[in-house]
Structure formats: C-alpha cells, structure tokens
C-alpha cells in the first residue's frame, strides 16, 4: 500500500474493498494529491468509522465516486469540482452535509445518498443562495424516518434542478407518528421551477395514505411525467380519480407507465375507469376509428398489463379480467 501511495499521482481508477488500507494510502497528517484520478470506489461492508485516521484527498479531476464506508465526504475529499456521479447509501448525510455536497459539486449528473435528520446532523447555517444544478438528471434519496424532514425541506427550497429526469425517494423504516410526507415535500419543491421530470418513484416502508391535495399539486408540477411508481402506499379511489384523465385532463397527459408495488388499492372499477381514460385521447368518442394508446403498461408487483398498439383488444374488455389475472382482490 505504501508503494501504491508513491504512484498515486498516476492512478486513474482506484477501487478499495478493505478500508483498513486507507490510513496508509491517505495518511491523516497529510493531504494526498491525485491529479489523474477519475474514478474512486470504496466498499467494505464490515467497515467501522475510521474518519479520524484518514487524511483528505485532493482529486481535481475526479468524475465518479462510489463509497460504502462510514466516512463523510467532507472528511475524505478536499477538492473535486468536476464530480458528476456520486453514490453513497452507507453513510447517513444530514441537512448541512447534503447542502454542502450539492453546493460544492454543481456538475453532478447522478446523486444517490442516504439521509438522516438526527440531532447530530443539524443545519448549522441557513442556506442563503439558490443552488442551480443544471446538469443533475437523476437524484435518489433513502431517508431514515425516525426523524422529521423539516431541514430537508429547507435545503430543497434552495435547490433548482431544471433538467432533472428521474427522482427516487424511499423511506427505509416507518413510524406511525412520522410527520414527513415526501409527496408534500416533492410537490412544494418541484412547483418552484420548470423541470423535465419523466420518471418518479416514491416508496414508503408503511402504508400511509396519499395526501390528495399534495398529490394533485405534484402532478401539476411534472407535466412531462412518463412513468410513476408507488411502493408501500394506500392508493384509494380518491387517489386513482386524480390520475383519471377524463376528470383531470391536464395532469400528466403523456403518462405511459404506472407501477403499484406492495400497495393497498381501492376498487377495481376505479382503476379500470382510470386505465380506460388514459388508453385513448380525451376527445375520442366511442365510435371513432382505432386509436393509438397513451398508457403502455400498468404493473402490479410483478404482473404487467400491456396495451401495445391499435390491434389490441378493447381495454374495457381486457380490464374485466383484472381480478382473476392479477389477483387484484384488495381490501
């Protein structure tokens, strides 16, 4: 490892799966300069917290960082302004750390993090300037819902990502008194700026009911949405009605895919009516010529119902078989 440190200034890709070597490679009493490093992967499922024994890395040309070790980014990397891909679902970032991560890496294209708003990870100073992430296209957050998301709202309120294409937000545990509806938070955030979001996944570890007003606000904010996925939610008739294109013709008019994973659903009739409404243009009458279907697929767990082209049977006939084909008898 000492020999590797001698040549670190020539290394372009570095993958380490035993972090006991890190104190030797990045001594705590020095900054390590790696001018050619493009990709860094740190993974060690057995790792403990060794941040006080590791020095910081200066990697001005680092593009990709994947880490699964208990070291905060700020303690590991001193300077990496060109970073475009960041993934860390092992260390839990607080509000200030999340803000600093996005503030210091505005070239990010993909960002995957774990978030925890615990008392030790509080926002030390209120954000004062808007952070515009023009390059960010994919943002995934796994959050610990033992704590509220009050400061997460504050951080998001200062962020704009006009070219965002994919959002994935997942709750890794659920408490009955948890007050942090991510749908409300996302609705408030995405309503602040024009965006290009086309894929949205929202996952809960419990079965919370969807806030109808927030859900409608959210769909209003993402007119270009193509694929929507709910995991672990109560999707009742009122929620399904919001997705009904006949009732709300301006909400996500080009939606092509719906996924309902581990959810409790409303009635099959409501779902059937919603699917029919999204399987034809709103202005099409019953006797018109064959039409191009808008909705391409609905997935219930691992079952899919595909409406592919003009030659397919009438969706209303196919939907009568939902209960038997999809085991769709829900309570």
Q: What integer pLDDT is reported at residue 155 of this predicted model? A: 93
Q: Tell me the pLDDT tens digit for each residue of 46-88.
A: 656 676 788 899 999 999 999 988 888 888 898 899 999 999 9
Q: Considering the entire predicted model, what is its pTM?
A: 0.85
Distances (CA, A) of 267 to 171, 245, 261, 270: 26, 17, 16, 5
**3-state secondary structure labels for all residues of 283-331:** CCCCCCCCCCCCCCEEEECCEEEECCCCCCCCHHHHHCCHHHHHCCCCC
Break the chain into its structural domains and give their ranges: 1-281+291-326
Asked if 271 and 322 touch (Cβ cutoff 8 Å), the reply is yes
Tokens of 216: 């409608």
Q: Tell me the pLDDT tens digit for each residue of 91-135.
A: 889 999 999 999 999 999 999 999 988 777 788 877 778 999 999
Overall average pLDDT of the 300-313 stretch: 44
| Cα–Cα distance measured from residue 248 to residue 318, given in angstroms and rounded to the nearest whole number | 23
CATH number of the structural domain 1-281+291-326? 3.80.10.10
């Amino acid at each position: 490892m000492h020999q590797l440190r001698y040549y670190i200034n020539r290394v372009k890709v570095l993958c380490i799966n035993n972090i006991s070597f890190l104190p030797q490679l990045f001594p705590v009493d020095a900054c390590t300069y790696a001018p050619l490093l493009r990709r860094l992967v740190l993974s060690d499922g057995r790792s403990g917290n060794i941040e006080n024994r590791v020095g910081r890395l200066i990697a001005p040309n680092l593009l990709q960082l994947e880490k699964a070790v208990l070291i905060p980014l700020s303690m590991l990397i001193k300077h990496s302004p060109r970073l475009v891909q960041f993934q860390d679902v092992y260390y839990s970032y607080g509000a200030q750390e999340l803000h600093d991560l996005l503030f210091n890496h505005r070239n990010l294209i993909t960002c995957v993090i774990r978030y925890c708003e615990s008392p030790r990870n509080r926002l030390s100073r209120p954000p004062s300037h808007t952070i515009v992430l023009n390059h960010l296209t994919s943002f995934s957050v796994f959050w610990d819902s033992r704590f509220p998301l009050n400061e997460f709202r504050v951080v998001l309120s200062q962020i704009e990502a006009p070219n965002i294409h994919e959002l994935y937000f997942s709750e890794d545990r659920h408490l009955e008194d948890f007050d942090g509806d991510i749908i409300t938070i996302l609705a408030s955030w995405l309503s602040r700026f024009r965006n290009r979001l086309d894929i949205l996944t929202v996952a809960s570890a419990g079965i919370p009911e969807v806030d109808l007003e927030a859900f409608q606000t959210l769909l209003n904010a993402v007119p270009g949405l193509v694929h929507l996925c709910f995991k672990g939610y109560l999707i009742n008739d009122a929620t399904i009605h919001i997705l009904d294109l006949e009732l709300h013709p301006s909400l996500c008019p080009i939606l092509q895919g719906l996924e309902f994973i581990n959810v409790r659903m409303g009635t099959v009739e409501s779902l059937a009516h919603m699917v029919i409404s999204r399987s034809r243009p709103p202005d099409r009458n019953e006797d018109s010529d064959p039409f191009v279907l808008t909705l391409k697929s609905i997935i219930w767990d691992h079952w899919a119902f595909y409406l592919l082209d003009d030659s397919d049977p009438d969706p209303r006939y196919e939907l009568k078989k939902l209960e038997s084909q999809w085991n769709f008898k829900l309570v």
